Structure 1
Amino acid sequence: MKQKLLTLGLLLAVLLAFSLPKATAQPVVVAVDLGHGESNKYLNYIMGNITFVTWKVITGPINASQLKGVDILLLGQPTVAFSPDEMTAIKNWLASGNKVLYVAGDSDYGPGQKTIQQINDLLAAIGTKLRLEHGAVYSDNPDVTAKAYYRMLTFVEPDADPLLRTDLIKRDVTLPVLMHGPGCVVWVDAQGKYHDPVKETFPGLFRLVWAHKSYMGDNTPPTPYVYDLMAYGKGTGDHDFVMYAAEYWTDKNVLIVVAGESLYGDYEPAWASVYYGVPLDGPTFVTNLFRWWVYVVTELPNQKTLQQLSASISNLNSAVNSQSSSIQSLSSNVNSLKSSLDSLNSKVAQLSSALDSLSGTVNTLLIISAVEALLIIVALALIFLRKPKTQTSETQVKS
C-alpha cells in the first residue's frame, strides 16, 4: 500500500510539473498612459534605465486594442477623467489575469482634488477596495521632510509575504523615497464604510510605503474620509499613513498598486535620487517595483503551482503515514490475536490431556466394575450350587 501511494505521489509530481505555466517568451510589456493629462517628467530616465521590459506609450483613449499584449499598465497622476468605456476596457483587461495595474494619485492641494476623485471613480469601477484619501500628508519634523512640510520622506516597509515576494521591493533600499505633496491610501468595504489601513487590513491588502511622524491636511472639500482633522490634523501628534498599497487578487493573479504620488510626472517624482540636499533611494525603489511586477506576471503563477504541488505531496505523505500507522496497528492486533490463539491452543492441549487422563481412569473403572460384576456373579453361582436339598426329598427316600 505504501509503495503504491509513493508511486502515485511521484506521478502527481510529474503531471503537475508538466502543467506549470510556461514563462513568457517575450519581455514583459509595460504600457504608460499619457493620454489623460499626465506629465512625462523623468519617464525617459525610467525607460532608459529599466531595460528588462518592453515599453509602450499610450497617448490616445485606452481600449482593448491599446491593451492587447500589455502586462503592466501605469496610470501616473491623471488629470483628465477616464470615460466609462475606458474603465470597462481596463476592467476587462484585468479580468484576463496575470496583470499589474499601477495608479498614482495626488494630495487635495489645487487641482489634486479632481485627480483624487477621478482615480477613486476608476478604482470603484474595476472592483478594488483601495481608495485615495481626500487630504494631504504633511509633517513638521525635519527627520521626515526635505526642508519643507510638504516634501515628504517616505519609507519602504512592505508587509511580508514569501509567495508574493514583497521583499523584492525593499532590496538594497536603505534611504527614504520622496513623495512631493502626497496623499495617502485608505480602503472601503462592501458596505461603503472607509477604513484606516494602518489599523485595519483585509485579505489581499499589502502596505508597501509609509509616512511617519506626520499629520493630515485638508486643502479643498470634501473633508477626509477616514482621518478626521480633530484626531489626525496639525498639532495632534505624530501619525503613520500608508502611502503605497497593493491589493492582490489571487484567483486572477492580478496586482493593483495605488500610490499617493507618482513614479513619474509629479512635481518631483519618486525617481529622484536627491532633493534639497537629501539623499534618496528613488531609482532603486522604482527599479525594484518593476522587478516585483515582472515577478508577479511571469514567475508567481509557477510558484503558486509549485506550492499547490508541495501541499499535495504533503497531504499524500500524511495519507501514507496514516496508512502506515493503520498497518502497524493492524499488525499489532494480529500479533495480539496470534498470542491469544497460542494461549487458547495451549489451554486446549491441557484440556485434551486432562480428557485423555480422565478417559483412562474411566476405562479402568469400567474394567474394575466389570470384574466386580463377574465376581459377584461367580459368588452368587457358588452360593446357589452349595444350597442343601429340601426335606421332602429326604422323606420320600426313606419310604
Structure 2
Amino acid sequence: MAAELDDHRDRDGRAGAASDRRGFLGTVWGGMLGAGGLAGGLGRAASPSARADEASAGVDRRMIVRTERPLNLESPSAALDSFLTPVPEFFVRSHHGAPAIGLRPWEVVVEGLVERPLKLSLADLEAMASTTIPAVLQCAGNGRGLFRPRMPGLVWERGAVGHAEWAGVPLAALLERAGVRPEAAHVHFVGGDVPPTPKSPAFIRSIPVARAKAEDTLVALKMNGEPLPVLHGGPARVVVPGWGGDCWTKWIRRIVVAAEEASSFYMKTGYRIPRKPIPPGVAPDPADLVPVEWMNVKSLITWPGAGAALARGPQEVRGVAWTGEGHVVKVEVATVQDPTWREAELLDGPRQGSWRRFKLAWTPPAAGEYVLQARATDSKGEVQPEVSPWNKSGYLWNGYDRVPCTVS
C-alpha cells in the first residue's frame, strides 16, 4: 500500500479523529470479532483508551497495533500457525475507518454498462446460490518494513496476511443477472466507508471484467462460517483470490460496470508498481507503473517464533506458503549458518488462492544462535527470492522469511 497514501490517510485520520472514532466505535465494538484473549501485547503499545476499545470489541491483545485511527492491526506469526486464521487474530486494514452499519438497510447496487441495473438487499444476496472458498487475504504493503532503503507509511512486517473461508455470491452471477454490455471492460467497486475530510479521496478500485467474472470472485457475506465482521468489511465485501488486498473492497455498496479502468486516486496513483525492477531509491516513470493485482510467491515461518529459546534436540519448523496465480508446489527450509536447503512436507492440497501449511523436522547441531529461513516455489516456476525487488511504495515484499532463535 503506497507510502505516500499511508501518510495522507494518517494525517486525515488524525484530523477527523473525533467523527471517525464515534462512527467507528458505534459500529464495530460489541463482539463483532468474537471472543479473544486480552493479555499481553506486541509492537507499539496502544493508549489506555485504545486498549479499552479493543477489549470491548474482543480484539486479541496480542495483535500488533500499527495505527489506532484508523485502526490497523497486524497478526503475530503464531496466529497464522493454522489452516484458517482465527477471526480475532486476523489482521485489520483500514483506510478511512468503518462506515455506520445498521442505520438503514444495506443494499448493493449493480449499475453502469448493464442491461438491467440491480438493487439488492442483504436478504436478496443471501437467497442466491452461495459459494464457499478458502483464500489468502494479504495487504499489498505486507513486509513494507523489511525493504531497504526504508520508505514512509504503515510499517507492516510479516503479519498483514491471513487465510479464511469466505462464503457468498459469485460476482459473475450478479453480472449475469444485470446483463453486461459488450463494450464493458472493467468493474469498479465503491465501498460504504466515507473519507474523514472533503479533501481525502474516496477508496475506489476496479478490476478487469474477466477477473470479475472468474468463478472464485465473490461478494462475500461470511468469514469462517460466521457473518462477515464489520472490521473485515461486513456486511459484504469483495473477495478476489490470488490478488492483493487492495482489490478486496470492503463494505461494498456499488458495483459499476464501465469501459475504462477507474480514474480514482487509489487506482491511478496508489497501488501501482513498476513493470520491471528498478534500483533502490529510484523514482519510477509513472508510465511504467501498473496496478497491483496478482500476489507473488511467499512463505512465512510460524514456528518457532522470532527470538524463541529452544532446547537442544529435535524441533519442528512450521509455516505457511502461498502465491497469486497457481499454487505452491515446494517449500524449502535452511539456516543462515548452514544454507543447505531441505524440502519441507506440504500438508494441504493445492488450490488457487489458498495457502499450504508446511513442516520440517530440524535438529540443531549444537547450542547457539540460529536464523531459520524459508523459500517457496509455485506451479508457474516462480521461486521466492532472497531479497524482494525494491519499489518506492513498499509493495509485495517476498524475500526469504527469516526467523532468529536461540538453542541452549
Note whether the superposition's TM-score is higher than 0.5.
Answer: no
TM-score tier after normalising by the smaller chain length: under 0.3
TM normalised by structure 1 equals 0.21
Structure 1 or 2: larger helix share?
1
Higher-Rg member (1/2): 1
Structure 1 or 2: larger strand share?
2
